[in-house]
Structure 1
Amino acid sequence: MADITLTTTNTDGFDTESVIGDFAVGIDPMNETGPDPNSVLVADYAACFLPAVRMGARKSGYDDLGKMEIEAKADLTENDDLESISFTLKVEAAVEDPQELVELGEQFCHVHTALREELHADVTVQDEAFATATA
């Protein structure tokens, strides 16, 4: 039996609806009724990478990293194929070794593992990204 099952349906045009368990996700390559597949892939990658960093950090003995956020950017070829992905990982806490967070995300993110190497995200970490300015 498969570990993941879902149903993707297209009744007309190009938009689709994928039903994954109790959730429905609309995807439209024309960006009219939902995000396009490339955007969904980049979002899925970021949505996997972020908690992978937090989980890996906890396993490595980090204290709470606080709020975290990924700003993702992707470039497309002339044929609208994904060519590159980059992440800016913003972390509320001060981090001694930002590269370690990148390595932890890469180690524990299943989407990262699934993508071909030349499409892995180029990740930049901004620590203390949500610190309030003092006057």
Structure 2
Amino acid sequence: MTDIDLTTTNEDGFDTRSAIGDFTVAVDPMNETGPNPNELLVADYASCFLPAVRLGARKNGIDDLGKMEIAAEADLDDHDNLEAIRFTLYVEAALDDPDELATIGEQHCHIHTTLRDGLHADVTVVDDAY
């Protein structure tokens, strides 16, 4: 059973369009028609981490965090591969143990769990397709 099904298309050049359900996402490694893949990955990570923090905090009895925001930074190596990602999490609420939220986010964020060695796409190539 497949849980995620999408189509990514490249007509020419380097930019792509991904059809995900009713949504379309533009990605361009040249940053001309959309964010580049590394930027999108960091944004996906932050977009997963914030609700994971809120969900996990509620499970731990911390119900009102108020507004939250992540300022994300990332470093690339000489080949433009992601080398490091840093989040600064801003939370409106005053907390007894602010560092607890980082641990909660790491435990509940699916992207955090996914970013590990060995997870790569299993690729099948079909030629003469069009």
Shift of 1:98: 1.4
Matched with 1:14 is 14
Structure 2 letter corresponding to 1:63: D
After the TM superposition, which segments of 4 or more aligned residues of structure 1 sit over 2 Å from their partners? none
Q: Distance in 2 between matches of 1:40 and 1:63?
A: 29
SS in structure 1 of the partner of residue 83 of structure 2: strand
Structure 1 letter corresponding to 2:115: L
Give the root-mean-square deviation of aligned CA atoms. Answer: 0.9
Q: Distance in 1 between matches of 2:60 and 2:9?
A: 42
Structure 2 letter corresponding to 1:97: D
Structure 2 letter corresponding to 1:110: H
- Report the TM-score, using the length of structure 2 for normalisation: 0.88
Shift of 1:63: 2.6
* Map 1:29-44 → 2, pairs under 5 A: 29-44=29-44
Shift of 1:57: 0.3
Structure 2 letter corresponding to 1:86: R
* Map 1:82-101 → 2, pairs under 5 A: 82-101=82-101
Matched with 1:60 is 60
Determine which structure has greater relative contact order: mean sequence separation of CA pairs < 8 Å that are 6+ residues apart, divided by chain length: 1
Matched with 1:112 is 112
Unaligned runs of 5+ in 2: 118-130
Q: Distance in 2 between matches of 1:95 and 1:21?
A: 38
Matched with 2:46 is 46
Q: Distance in 2 between matches of 1:69 and 1:25?
A: 22
Deviation readout 1:20-77 (Å, 9 max, x if unpaired): 1111000000000000000000000000000000000001001310000000000000
Shift of 1:101: 0.4
Matched with 1:70 is 70
Matched with 1:28 is 28
Q: Distance in 2 between matches of 1:116 and 1:83?
A: 13
Percent of residue pairs identical: 71
Matched with 1:120 is none
Structure 2 letter corresponding to 1:67: K
Unaligned runs of 5+ in 1: 118-135
